[in-house]
Structure 1
Amino acid sequence: MKEITVQDLKAMKDAGEDFQLVDVRENHEYELTNIDGELIPLGEVAARADEISKDKKVIVMCRSGKRSATAIEYLEDNEAYDNLYNLVGGILAYGREIDDSIVQY
């Protein structure tokens, strides 16, 4: 599984790169704190796979990286994706290392 660090994600955002950020946490987690990813909760990934791009880099994130890894495994195994990157450490790492306004929960 391909991975990306929070520093790499921040650099991509700052550079205005064209990528999709998919957040697979639950609604209440997203409402608590988010970094403007598209919310597709893990339980909806299979039904909403068509909303996830196959034409550009897609960063998949969650709280710590476990659920996003599960989503990526499903999409790679069942939907023929090869452009997915797991955000190492998830939003918790982003909050610790990039943006201290991110709520740690």
Structure 2
Amino acid sequence: MFNLLRKNKTSQIKKYLQEGATLLDVRFASEYNSGHISKSVNIPLQSLDEKMDQLDKDKPIVVYCAMGGRSTIAAAKLKSRGFRVIDGRSIKSIKKLT
């Protein structure tokens, strides 16, 4: 059952990426500067509320962080504001798909 859910989420992330999704990195700027996914946008979680208007509501968003905790919070915030978003969890997970 868990593998089926993971496969469904992976399929959804791939679909969003094919649609030109915004890759949103919610790690600290120092973490982002140490290494990130090409073409990703960095808005640290603690700045997300004030910078959310910089994101395009017409594009899907795949959000990630270092381990998955911050991305889960960010995805919930974005979803509550009407964004089409999926929690990609960790940078390692997303790198496997890009």
TM-score, scaled relative to structure 1: 0.69
1:89-100 correspondence to structure 2 within 5 Å: 90-94=90-94, 97=96
Kept in 2, the 8 Å contact 1:64–1:93? The answer is: no
Which of 7, 30, 33 is the aligned partner of 2:32? 30
Kept in 2, the 8 Å contact 1:24–1:67? The answer is: yes
What fraction of aligned residue pairs are identical, expressed as a percent? 27
Structure-2 separation of matches of 1:49 and 1:4: 24
Query: Deviation digits for residues 16-36 of structure 1, max 9, x if unmatched?
Result: x32111100001101111002
Across the aligned residues of Structure 1 and Structure 2, the Cα RMSD in angstroms comes to 2.7
The aligned counterpart of 1:18 is 20
Structure-2 separation of matches of 1:19 and 1:98: 13
Tell me the CA shift for residue 92 of structure 1: 2.8
Kept in 2, the 8 Å contact 1:40–1:48? The answer is: yes
1:43 has 2:85 as partner: no
Which has the higher relative contact order, 1 or 2, with Cα contacts under 8 A spaced 6 or more apart?
1
Structure 1 residues 12 and 50, CA gap change in structure 2 (3 angstroms): closer
The aligned counterpart of 1:87 is 88
**SS at the partner of 2:53?**
helix
Structure-1 separation of matches of 2:45 and 2:25: 9
